[in-house]
Structure 1
């Protein structure tokens, strides 16, 4: 898992899924990928000491559940944008055969 704390509108180096947008929510943004985190670690938000803007898995597709909704498939290398107050918990479940990330508001 990779994350970025620097997602910007200029440039076009990262394909980003804005799950809150109408339509497919995909756009291209500039970002600076940061260190790699193994599945099971957290990326993000309020209280984590990192203002993570987006995360991705570069070697596999993954599922994302936003605020408890049904997990949606995200292709390998597509970044998922999260809000400042959100945290993403990513785990591997044997029945999914791919990482599952649950995004929720930091509580």
Structure 2
């Protein structure tokens, strides 16, 4: 038994798109809410917003497990998803995104 996790082992042995794809599959299988919380965080991190990712995740998960993703987001990043949406978006777009992820 090794102390190396499967994602770490994949990073050590693979490179490029295949590595990214397999790591994402493993992360999603192990903890789906954490996987999508990380995707949402990266969509709003830094300069600019990756709108396609933000919209895709919020819309596709809104009826599945978005509440769990919102909870996991707070646990992982110490801020609510709603706070980061308010900080990163404006106007009607912001209202729609907040409506999808629910009240705080």
Which structure: greater strand fraction?
1
Answer 1 or 2: higher relative contact order, Cα 8 Å, separation at least 6: 1
Superposed pair shares fold, TM > 0.5: no
TM-score when scaled to structure 2? 0.24
TM-score when scaled to structure 1? 0.23
Which structure: greater helix fraction?
2
Greater C-alpha Rg: 2
